[in-house]
Amino acid sequence: MLSILPQLIASGLLIGGVYALLSIGLTLIFGVLRIVNFAQGEFIMLAMFGAFWANTMLGIDPYLSALVVVPVIFFIGMLVERYVIQRILFAAHSMQIFATFGLSVLMQNLALTFWGPDYHSVTTSYTSESFTIAGLSLSATSLFAFIAAIVMAAGLIGFLHFTRGGRALRAMVQNRYAASLMGVDTKRLNRLAFGCGVGCAAICGCILTPMYYTFPTVGVDLIITAFVVVVLGGMGSVAGAVVGGLIIGVAQTLTGFYLSVEFKDVVALLLFIVILLIRPQGLFGRAGTEDIGMK
């Protein structure tokens, strides 16, 4: 049983990479705008449909379709921020929840109206392919998702810490009024941050299209795990989203093999509860996270 442990851990890390990929955009939006975007899963769904139709109608690989899908979703995200999020940015938390949840329901029903409830799938040359590295069998699609999550997280952390725009974002979150006095255009940065957050969701959707069925409510199934990962890692922490995703992925894989598949979600949630009992702010969070910037 122990001989297969390295393979299980490797598989769990790859699954965790998928979870991290789901969570990065969500934690970015919360870290900058302090809003939990309950419609994040629907932006993933839109990207998956975009990749699916690009493949079905034009024969474009789902990964290559990101070159068109991501800018379109980014633009849609900026419009949503301008006409929805901006109006509730300083409203009560309950109002923010109702607004983004309502947006989620609206997007789901629009997708049902235009594309119907059917399940769609995309099969590529690498869908069932796997690589053997150091004696470990690694699924090609999961490996690509893992690499994408690491690259996205590293890119965002680098942007936030080493660029003028990133420092302006962090300054704005720490003290919005002081940042505006220093000449920071907070409205523009809010729009940019939300656009980038849903852009991350679009990248995620394109990468997940060869792995999952595409249907109007797929975002609901995907985003529930993302919420767990974001809270576990620490709200607003990009690095925490990656680490939290890896922890949940490994925990589920080990539980599914050594105990039962039925218990994998139970054990993962128990681990989630235990960690939050020890560190209520999450692994990479800090107490009073509402008052601090992106980490």
Q: In sequence order, which residues have a C-beta less than 8 Å from that of residue 49 and are 6 or more positions away?
A: 111, 115, 120, 214
Measure the CA–CA gap between 136 and 286, rounded to whole angstroms: 37
Q: What does the buried/exposed string (b/e) look like for 166-185 if buried means 16 or more CB atoms within 10 Å of the residue's CB?
A: bebbbbbbeebeebeeeebe
Domain ranges, ordered by start, for the chain: 2-116+137-291
**What average pLDDT does this structure show over 52-79?**
95
Six-digit token string for 288 = 């009073």
- Report pLDDT digits (tens) over 149-184: 899 989 988 988 888 888 888 888 888 888 888 888
CATH number of 2-116+137-291: 1.10.3470
Q: What is the mean pLDDT of the chain?
A: 88
Query: Is residue 66 pLDDT above 90, yes or no?
Result: yes
**Taking the model in full, what pTM does it have?**
0.89
- Report pLDDT digits (tens) over 234-291: 888 888 999 999 999 998 899 988 888 888 888 878 888 888 888 888 888 765 554 4
- Output the pLDDT for position 290: 47
- Report pLDDT digits (tens) over 96-114: 999 999 999 999 999 999 9
Six-digit token string for 64 = 């290559």
- Output the pLDDT for position 49: 97
